[in-house]
DNA sequence: AACTGGCGCAACCGCCAGAAC
DNA sequence: AGTTCTGGCGGTTGCGCCAGT
């Protein structure tokens, strides 16, 4: 797969863009999909005039541009659900994401890795230190290999989720100057369609 | 004020399964 | 039945931001 840019190196198809999406590209993608639907991503990318792989377009759309995508502010209920489902299924992020409307597998994966897993490590270290004293076998934290359903009481061991997604509604994160809000894009898209 | 290390997130990579031919 | 193509998935990386020094 993904042999587009490398192998058959005719000049016309070499030019595949990578890296952060520009606002223009976002607009093109939104415009195209709102007009034609999703369809086959590779042909979509070409038809829309985007110098991106179909894969890249799909990822951008699913994780960022879809109108129903929710970002930031993972609620305690969602956090609990994530831990519960992760305890059942492990790293099946897309499966987990299906039970969290508006959340993407990528977001859940990132959330798990950066927030929960970090805390799991910290707590494990703490437990390792104390367990030598307390001989307790019970782990406070559901690990990846643990199939137990999380007890809601265990939530208290995890970091509060509110301040984990910091202010700025964590969407226009200002991570670089190519960051813009979905509202911007969709309002522009609506304007274009009128 | 400048530097640095950690954090968070967007995006890419590689693999796999199923569809299409 | 075999090959190619495409989408989906999980893992990983790159990079900007920011707090601490």
- Write out pLDDT tens, residues A73-100: 788 888 888 888 888 888 888 888 888 8
Q: Are residues A64 and A94 in the same domain?
A: no
Which strand C bases fall within 7 angstroms of a protein CB? 5-12, 15-18
Backbone angles phi, psi at A26, to 5 degrees: -60, -45
Residues A85 and A160 occupy one common structural domain = yes
Is the pLDDT reported for residue A166 higher than 60?
no
On whether residue A5 sits in a domain, the answer given is no
DSSP state of A155: G
- Coil vs helix vs strand at A69: coil
Does residue A131 belong to any structural domain of this protein?
A: yes
Nearest to A29 by CA among A72, A64, A69, A2: A64
pLDDT, residue A193, reads 57
Residue A134 lies in a domain: yes
User: Same structural domain for residues A61 and A83?
Assistant: no
Contacts of A75 (CB under 8 A, 6+ apart): A161
Take residue A26 and report the two structure tokens written for it. 């976002």
CA of A90: nucleotide with nearest C1': C10
Domain count, chain A: 2
Q: Give the bases of strand B that a protein CB approaches within 7 Å.
A: 7-17
């Amino acid at each position: 797969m993904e042999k587009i840019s490398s192998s058959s190196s005719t000049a016309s198809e070499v030019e595949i863009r990578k890296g952060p999406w520009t606002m223009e590209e976002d607009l093109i993608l939104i415009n195209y999909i709102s007009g034609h639907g999703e369809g086959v991503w590779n042909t979509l990318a070409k038809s829309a005039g985007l110098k991106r792989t179909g894969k890249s377009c799909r990822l951008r759309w699913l994780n960022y541009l879809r109108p129903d995508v929710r970002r930031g502010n993972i609620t305690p209920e969602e956090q609990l659900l994530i831990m519960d489902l992760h305890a059942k299924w492990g790293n099946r992020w897309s499966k987990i994401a299906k039970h969290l409307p508006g959340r993407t597998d990528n977001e859940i994966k990132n959330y798990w890795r950066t927030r929960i897993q970090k805390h799991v490590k910290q707590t494990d270290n703490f437990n390792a230190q104390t367990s030598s004293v307390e001989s307790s076998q019970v782990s406070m934290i559901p690990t990846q290999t643990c199939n137990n359903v999380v007890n809601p009481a265990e939530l208290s061991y995890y970091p509060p989720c509110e301040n984990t997604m910091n202010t700025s509604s964590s969407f226009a994160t200002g991570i670089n100057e190519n960051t813009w809000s979905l509202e911007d894009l969709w309002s522009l898209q609506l304007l274009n369609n009128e």
